[in-house]
Amino acid sequence: MSAPHGFATPAPERPAAGALPLLTALLITLEAAWMADNSKPNSLHASMAKAKAARTAVDIAMRCVELCGATGYGEDELLEKWARDAKILDIFEGTQQIQLLIIARQLLGKSSAELR
């Protein structure tokens, strides 16, 4: 299969590779939201959702940009904006390291003084 000029030839596994992390992020997010709606403690799930969803958004957006080749990097293309927005989401929602630290504290039962 040949791709249009300026686009990379898609590998068949590319769409499938993004589907699993996307579904995982969605399910964790829905669980965290359900817990919040039902007044259950959800800091672990909320941190997991933030970390997974932000990283997944960046990964999928960058794969799409890569798939589109030089066309994906054009500032007049919406895809380039989505890639930038995804990276901002990753930063704005708390860096990956902070979210992973919160997750580790929750899983290990440690306080912020015990695990920095």
Catalytic residue among 31, 80, 93, 114: 93
Question: How many CB atoms are closer than 10 A to CB 16?
Answer: 9
Question: How many beta carbons lie within 10 A of that of residue 71, not counting itself?
Answer: 17
Distance CA 47, CA 22 (A): 16
- Helix, strand, coil proportions of the chain in percent (round to 5)? 70, 0, 30
Active site residue 77: no
Q: What are the residues whose beta carbons fall under 8 Å from the beta carbon of 27, sequence distance 6 or more? A: none
Catalytically active residues, by annotation: 93
